[in-house]
Chain A
């Protein structure tokens, strides 16, 4: 079982958390209690109601043991800052983050982080639809 940390329980965080908690060890962190509650009874993992910009929260969530960290808040800047700290300070091997702005994606790309951009993803899928 992999240890997976998800920061941000919006639509993607929630969906991923629910899916992965069936087979893996999942921790979801969010600043909003309502978002965490939205995971419902089907969620089989740990929920932490706290600020991910606080390193104590990350440590409490077991970032050091995490195999993968997903940063899926709607805030690009928060995702970028936390991803770098998670990679640099805690040495997490696999860090995946959502960045909505393409310009920022380009700048931070070189850092060895897996950056996901919604627009690019959709364009890719749509492109496949015509072939």
Chain B
């Protein structure tokens, strides 16, 4: 066990207790509720008016920051057109004052989010919001109130944006989540790599290892978000470590002479991990129960079997193998046994990652000199390629299964790695963080 770092400010506010309570009662029967249908592919963004949150008690900076983060979250989905009219006619000065819907209709907003931030003089803030359908002049869902420390204002903003996103799309939430990844520094042939945590949008970065530490690769969140699996060269060989994020203590999970382990991921209940183990010239997939340290072998082909990922129900494991001559995707029971090939397109397939919704598998595809991030059904049907570039790899799913984050590497001696995200529809491709690779997206935070 080793202490890596002192706890940072960020982790001190992790146990942020957000009190969620109803402000306004009543339900709002709307005959045809305002909703974006987001499965059509290209959609027309929904015009959402988002005036600055009403800030009381000298909290105007926090009010602006809250508004800004909510706008970034919602605009970042590609599903909303944010109407930011800051002229006086569209300024909300009193959170409780009735809405003059006519004003908002004239600027063609279909939805309206109003909010306020206040403080009772302590270090805590209270943030309220209400969401309206402008044309039917009704409130969408209940008004809500969040309370928490001032330092946690970003999480409150993400939680409000999640509520708005969820109410207007019918999808599960995903903004209040984190990403573990590997930060790069230096040229390709002498990269320094560090393990880092950040909010899904790149804020609140926390470095978990030092530049002068050993090479680290491929972090993976535990289901409860408290732990990370990763590969480190601390022993001189690639081995899997388990890091407790809060205490910064880490343990090596597998250390046997002549064995190398990597490409690890958790089971849905967090009790087991699956990983690749190289012994001699053969690489197979193994399962390890963390508590008992008991290990079982799941594959025993002479081929390279790697990149295992559990199904959300824990009953199956998808992995890649070159047993057929090229890398392809296979599914087997999580106890091992017969593996069924599910990829049959041109080229080779790797790094499969089962979606949290269970119905899709994301993967890396290499064909005719380029790489793609793609998705297919968990039966291997309906393959859809979402991206194309010199080198895209390693997809990870947002908590709601709507967005995929991955690594894009550019070519040549000056090439570098950047985290990108893309919607599951193939829309809204955008960079998230430069000089980074190997993202692992957490579940929704508690």
Are A and B co-members of a single complex? no
